[in-house]
A and B are shown apart, each in its own frame.
Chain A
Amino acid sequence: MTADPKLSLRGIRKSFGDTTVLDGIDLDVAEGDVITLIGASGSGKSTLLRCINLLEPVAEGQVILDGVDIAEPGLDPDPIRRRIGMVFQSFNLFPHMSVIDNVAVGPHKVLGAPKSRARADGLAMLTRLGLADRADAYPDQLSGGQQQRVAIARSLAMNPEVMLLDEITSALDPELVGEVLDVVRGLKEDGMTMLFATHEMTFAREISDRVCFLHQGRILEEGPPAQIFESPNEPRTQAFLQRVIDAGRM
């Protein structure tokens, strides 16, 4: 790696009360990298993503975006969040807005784009994700897969430099997972830098540049997907993957 990483995590720690959720996370993400975070529920994947987006303050450590520590206490988080997109497990679409308004509200309100422009760009984004015909529908009128694609479109409309995907297929019926993962494949082709917490092991293996196995708030093992999935060094990684295989998920 010659260029400086796009995003670096240095010694991230975080606890809720007495429970330590993140126990010293170090990670370098180069521009265009797709990093998947795997691990059991409660291993800290979601919290780590929320910390990167500053939705949760870190207790200790640095989140370095383009050489600047954005976790520095006292820094205004709002301008930084604009540069980092986040997609949530439960979509978090705004139910009182139509699909196009969900996508246009960020550029219009936050980036100050004129409404007509924001809507035109939003429509282009929806077209790209195959949702143009649903632009005037409301989120509750869509299938889960469509809702999640709208959520991705909403995030992409802000032109983020990094995308954080937090178990974005976990709330979907199995037959709807594919359409969302197709969008993620498209993003990789476009060179988007992504951190992706997921339980979809087959997909993680296909799309990742590197896979991190999280266990009790630490990255126990990190490497290219072939290594992690075929010959993991850590017994706990092996045990986790075995459980996934036993559950028929890989």
Chain B
Amino acid sequence: MTEQHAGHQPTRREVYDRARRRRSITIATISTVVVIGALLVLIPLTPGWEKVQQAFFDGDVFVDTLPILVEAFWVDVKILVWSTPPILIVALLVALARNTRSPALFPLRAFAVVYTDVLRGIPVILLVYLIGFGVPALGLSRTWANPLIWGSVTLVLSYSAYVAEVIRAGIDSVHESQRAGARSLGMTNHQTMQTVILPQAFRRIVPPMMNSFVSLQKDVALVSLIGPVEILRQAGIEKAKYANFTPYVAASLIFLAMTIPCTRLADWALARQRAKTGATAIS
């Protein structure tokens, strides 16, 4: 015992913490193994497993259809890429319109309220039908009757209404004292919003925004209802061709390959931001 003086003698607290940590890791490992093991053993024991395996997890069908599904997925990606900037712009404008105070701008405020209420209140799938079939029926020229355009417009209308509310909540979450600080420097309302309020609001709404963005990535598939052959429709075609549901599983995996990295990326960016501005280097 006397020799251990030079080295680090663990305190009773450290010994206790270490034992606790070991115990939680053991429990987590055992429960994971048990759950996964049970699933692997039990599911194949169900009476329908054989059929389900053939219908949903056919390796040959998977390999055959994956390339064509990935190609069709590009349509989804394109719709996503060109819809996202207008969604953000429209959402920001609507959120700012709802935040105006001047009496002269009452109609703008009222419009913003109606916009968010109506477009958030209608299921996206109905909006896709209404706008996708309704607007081209007005007798537009061939170029403008493109379902890709009206499908994208629908997504912009619906999602900008959601995102506007997220942005508005973000603006409201910035404490009034920040506004006082900015105004005391002589900043105008506009400068205050631009340099002080919005940058802080945007940082706070990254997680809910990512949530909406992942949602949007999936809802892009609804555009297939009015015509374009994107991944969902292509998967339907392949399903009919092979009389097998495996293309749907393949399509799901392709979606996950996009949505999961997106969420992880957002988490990482947020954590980095926090580390940069947070209390880490007090001197």
Binds B, one of A78-86, A115-123, A182-190, A232-240: A78-86
In the complex formed, the residue of A with least CB distance to B184 is A86
Residues of B within 8 A of A96 (CB): 199-200, 203, 277
Q: Is the C-beta of B40 less than 8 angstroms from some C-beta in chain A?
A: no
| CB pair A78 B199 closer than 8 Å | no
In the complex formed, the residue of B with least CB distance to A90 is B177
| CB pair A141 B280 closer than 8 Å | yes
Residues of B within 8 A of A105 (CB): 185, 195
Known contacts A96-B200, A109-B191, A143 near B282 by CB under 8 Å: yes
In the complex formed, the residue of A with least CB distance to B273 is A96
Q: Is the C-beta of A95 less than 8 angstroms from some C-beta in chain B?
A: yes
Q: A140 to B273: give the CA distance in the assembly, Å.
A: 13
Q: Is the C-beta of B196 less than 8 angstroms from some C-beta in chain A?
A: yes
In the complex formed, the residue of B with least CB distance to A50 is B180
B180 CB contact (under 8 Å) in A55, A80, A137:
A55
Q: Is the C-beta of B186 less than 8 angstroms from some C-beta in chain A?
A: yes
Q: Is the C-beta of B281 less than 8 angstroms from some C-beta in chain A?
A: yes
Q: A193 to B214: give the CA distance in the assembly, Å.
A: 55
In the complex, per-residue mask of B170-200: 1 if CB is within 8 Å of any chain A CB, else 0: 0000000110111111111001000110011
| CB pair A92 B181 closer than 8 Å | yes
| CB pair A95 B200 closer than 8 Å | yes
Q: Is the C-beta of A155 less than 8 angstroms from some C-beta in chain B?
A: yes
Residues of A within 8 A of B280 (CB): 141
Chain A nearest CB from B119 CB (Å) reads: 31
Q: A26 to B185: give the CA distance in the assembly, Å.
A: 25
Q: A138 to B282: give the CA distance in the assembly, Å.
A: 10
Interface size on B, residues (CB 8 A): 25
Interface size on A, residues (CB 8 A): 34
B187 CB contact (under 8 Å) in A93, A109, A141:
A109
Q: Is the C-beta of A245 less than 8 angstroms from some C-beta in chain B?
A: no
**CB interface residues, B 124-154, toward A, < 8 Å:** none
| CB pair B186 A94 closer than 8 Å | no
| CB pair B185 A82 closer than 8 Å | yes
Q: Is the C-beta of B123 less than 8 angstroms from some C-beta in chain A?
A: no
Chain B nearest CB from A49 CB (Å) reads: 10
Q: Is the C-beta of B41 less than 8 angstroms from some C-beta in chain A?
A: no
Q: Is the C-beta of B27 less than 8 angstroms from some C-beta in chain A?
A: no
Q: Is the C-beta of B104 less than 8 angstroms from some C-beta in chain A?
A: no
Q: A93 to B187: give the CA distance in the assembly, Å.
A: 14
In the complex formed, the residue of B with least CB distance to A133 is B283
Residues of A within 8 A of B195 (CB): 94, 105, 109
Q: A155 to B277: give the CA distance in the assembly, Å.
A: 22
A110 CB contact (under 8 Å) in B191, B276, B283:
B191
Q: A86 to B183: give the CA distance in the assembly, Å.
A: 10
| CB pair B185 A158 closer than 8 Å | yes
In the complex formed, the residue of A with least CB distance to B281 is A141
| CB pair A88 B181 closer than 8 Å | yes
Chain B nearest CB from A176 CB (Å) reads: 12
| CB pair A140 B278 closer than 8 Å | yes
Q: A82 to B186: give the CA distance in the assembly, Å.
A: 4
Known contacts A95-B200, A96-B203, A138-B277, A85 near B184 by CB under 8 Å: yes
| CB pair B181 A110 closer than 8 Å | no
Chain B nearest CB from A89 CB (Å) reads: 9
Known contacts A88-B177, A105-B195, A95 near B277 by CB under 8 Å: yes
| CB pair B181 A79 closer than 8 Å | no
Q: Is the C-beta of A106 less than 8 angstroms from some C-beta in chain B?
A: yes
Residues of B within 8 A of A137 (CB): 281
Chain A nearest CB from B198 CB (Å) reads: 10
Residues of A within 8 A of B283 (CB): 134
Residues of A within 8 A of B178 (CB): 92, 94
Chain A nearest CB from B176 CB (Å) reads: 10
Q: A140 to B177: give the CA distance in the assembly, Å.
A: 16
Q: List 5 A-B contacts (CB under 8 A).
A: A88-B184, A90-B177, A92-B177, A105-B195, A155-B185
Q: What are the 8 tightest A-B residue pairs by CB atom distance, in nearest-first order?
A: A82-B186, A92-B181, A86-B184, A106-B185, A81-B186, A138-B277, A92-B177, A110-B186
A-B contact sample (19 more), CB < 8 A, given A81-B183, A96-B200, A137-B281: A55-B183, A81-B184, A81-B185, A83-B186, A84-B184, A88-B180, A90-B177, A92-B178, A92-B184, A93-B181, A94-B178, A94-B182, A96-B277, A105-B185, A138-B277, A140-B278, A141-B277, A141-B279, A155-B184
